[in-house]
Amino acid sequence: MKLRILTVLFIVLLASAAMAQQNVVVIFDDSGSMSERFGTTNKLSAAKESLNLVMGTLPADSNLGILCLNHGWTLPMGPFDSEKFHGAVDS
């Protein structure tokens, strides 16, 4: 349930950012608790899947950064680059 709420919040944030063409920073929880089971997968895999779905709606001219709670910036703020984004999320 919490993941669904987070996914909806991501969508709302990205929709707002896309309309205003603002910078988007995703704060990603990469803590140990994300390895806990979540349905048929774990929380980390579910969050990555949700993030990939939401980012698919991001306009190409957006700026994006991914900040992980434990590892810092895995993708520094800059122009959205699909290849760099997927590399950061998959790492």
The 10s digit of each residue's pLDDT in 12-41 is 566 655 555 678 888 888 888 888 888 898
Would strands 41-42 and 37-38 be described as parallel, antiparallel, or unpaired? antiparallel
Instruction: Report the C-alpha gap between 36 and 83 in whole angstroms.
Output: 28
Supply the pTM of this predicted model. Answer: 0.67
As beta bridge partners, residue 38 has 41
Q: Which residues contact 27 (CB under 8 A, 6 or more apart)?
A: 67, 69
Residues 6+ apart with CB under 8 A from 21: 59, 61, 62
Residues 64-76: tens digit of each pLDDT: 999 988 889 999 9
- Residue 45, classified by CB atoms within 10 Å of its CB into exposed (0-12), middle (13-18) or buried (19+), is middle
